[in-house]
Structure 1
């Protein structure tokens, strides 16, 4: 969306992406957006975030061993392409920042902070490398910027954004999907739509629901969507828990989630670890209030009591109260309208592109 929205008279996009088997669709996506695409074997991550923690010794050894390859690759690319600015997709590509500056010391390099860096020694090392080699940061939230470990970094918050077309989605898609699922008109559907992983809390959500089932409004129904075809370990445990719950329904991963979101009434992000939730701001663009756990990153996406509700894992009654409030149709509609306005102001692709281009302009002007 960023590439597609850039001013073509001022910016020419070149995307360097990993050369990997099965990346054809990704390559086509960038090309269709208007970018020249270069594939390189030695674009490798130096992970250390809540999404890719690098806890295992072999993963850390791979990251360290791969670092100089990515440095060399970035140096060669900058020598060949001679860009005016480099925008890295993630802080895990910090080796590319080092390589870019080896080729051109005054070249502005931006790193996108897409998930919080870890607070352990490994995460602090990654943060230190980024502060040393990156000129400016664009973060998807304030909480992400703070994980860089310094108040002095040049950082700008540009929330993840959704295509403007989402704001004009056909509501009939939701009505049709709801009929195919045989959901009653009186059901208030709370939708979990994320990876089935411990950090996202679907199993913990089902357990919380079942532990408080008598206190929850009788209209509340919970849909846990995103299950992979092959389920093992945590995903299997979550799937079995959903199947045994009288208030929950399990759905497999879907490519097009818009009809499912339109058919639902509330987006739920019960994350147990801090990171952002795409379903919450995509849902807001469709006029759906959010119900999120009280963790950094999520609380920036929902204005408690206005565009949705925030609950605490340590206080189960806050979850019960939030669900029951959202089962009130008048309150829910009011929050849905407020969610849509909040999304237009913060999550619209046009706004996100303009904010990003303003960062580009500032860095280019300083150069």
Structure 2
């Protein structure tokens, strides 16, 4: 943590008592949508110990001093925790606090299975019958952009495969910029887009070469659209794909295996169709708004009954 961030956190703590008096008094249950709000939860427990406090944890806590402080505050104030993945839940390290995993969700009606033509309309180099492979994330080494481009180089001689990168800002590091500039003619680069279903649904395959634990929203969005993904086997991400059923999971850093799975999928339309249908079904069962609300409402009802 930088000293500037430390000062901001300390100044923020000074506002906690006033926030309690103004906003948090008089409730039976208080729901915080981030573990970073744990000091407000502590204030609730100090002045209103019968109030039930729920935290929705959306990010893994850091393994440093600040993370230890937040964990201590959670242990003293949380009556229940909701985590967006099994990894985030385990990372909390608060075994005495009851909790449940409620995955991030996608509105299924806004992400219908489709194969659009947004790319084809604006980029004549991407042909209508191309097998379109996408990268949908911040363009960064930690997110595996170098691995994605290495796979693209492997398929340079195959004019039927197009690789599309979404998330380019022009402000990436020099190393990343060099990688993009040196990419072959089968690679097409786009900025972040707001019409996510239209563009993500245009893909035949999403490559997710993330090298750090990260619950990838793009994977569950793609699955809801019926687009399979290939991922590395790292925690959090590996909760979003069922290997061989909704996509493929390969060993971390095994670029060759990721490329092999891509080639296998491209050569087998029946496999594409099966993974696509399974991905949509898996997303509805695990990452839909209905599934999330059922879990959330059950937790709220259970906690309210204990007041």
User: TM-score when scaled to structure 2?
Assistant: 0.89
Aligned ranges 1:274-353 → 2 under 5 Å: 274-327=213-266, 328-353=268-293
Aligned ranges 1:1-367 → 2 under 5 Å: 55-79=1-25, 82-168=26-112, 171=114, 174-182=116-124, 183-202=126-145, 204-209=146-151, 213=154, 219-228=160-169, 231-234=170-173, 237-246=175-184, 247-327=186-266, 328-367=268-307
Q: Deviations over 1:89-143 (max 9, x none)?
A: 1111111211222332121111111121122333233222222222111111111
Tell me the CA shift for residue 358 of structure 1. Answer: 0.3
Q: 2:245 & 2:158 partners in 1: Cα distance? A: 20
Q: Give the secondary-structure state (helix, strand or coil) at the position aligned to 1:143.
A: helix
Equivalent pair of 1:217/1:324 in contact (CA under 8 Å): no
Equivalent pair of 1:290/1:308 in contact (CA under 8 Å): yes
Q: Give the secondary-structure state (helix, strand or coil) at the position aligned to 2:219.
A: helix
Equivalent pair of 1:192/1:268 in contact (CA under 8 Å): yes
Equivalent pair of 1:158/1:356 in contact (CA under 8 Å): yes
User: TM-score when scaled to structure 1?
Assistant: 0.76
Tell me the CA shift for residue 217 of structure 1. Answer: 6.7
Tell me the CA shift for residue 339 of structure 1. Answer: 0.2
Q: 1:146 & 1:280 partners in 2: Cα distance? A: 21
Tell me the CA shift for residue 216 of structure 1. Answer: 9.3
Q: Residues 308, 105 of structure 1: CA spacing in aligned structure 2 closer, same or farther, 3 A cutoff?
A: same
Q: 1:134 & 1:199 partners in 2: Cα distance? A: 33
Q: 1:290 & 1:136 partners in 2: Cα distance? A: 33
Equivalent pair of 1:86/1:107 in contact (CA under 8 Å): yes
Tell me the CA shift for residue 198 of structure 1. Answer: 4.5
Tell me the CA shift for residue 270 of structure 1. Answer: 1.8
Equivalent pair of 1:189/1:222 in contact (CA under 8 Å): yes
Moved more, 327-336 or 179-188: 179-188
Equivalent pair of 1:124/1:149 in contact (CA under 8 Å): no
Q: 1:128 & 1:257 partners in 2: Cα distance? A: 39
Q: 1:89 & 1:152 partners in 2: Cα distance? A: 20
Q: Give the secondary-structure state (helix, strand or coil) at the position aligned to 1:264.
A: coil
Q: Residues 121, 285 of structure 1: CA spacing in aligned structure 2 closer, same or farther, 3 A cutoff?
A: same
Equivalent pair of 1:78/1:104 in contact (CA under 8 Å): no
Tell me the CA shift for residue 307 of structure 1. Answer: 0.4
- Work out which structure has the larger RCO, using CA pairs closer than 8 Å and 6 or more positions apart in sequence: 2
Q: Which runs of 5+ in 2 are unaligned?
A: none
Q: Give the secondary-structure state (helix, strand or coil) at the position aligned to 1:147.
A: helix
Equivalent pair of 2:206/2:227 in contact (CA under 8 Å): yes
Alignment root-mean-square deviation, CA: 2.3
Corresponding pairs, count:
304
Q: Give the secondary-structure state (helix, strand or coil) at the position aligned to 1:168.
A: coil
Q: Give the secondary-structure state (helix, strand or coil) at the position aligned to 1:200.
A: coil
Q: Residues 239, 223 of structure 1: CA spacing in aligned structure 2 closer, same or farther, 3 A cutoff?
A: farther
Equivalent pair of 1:178/1:263 in contact (CA under 8 Å): no
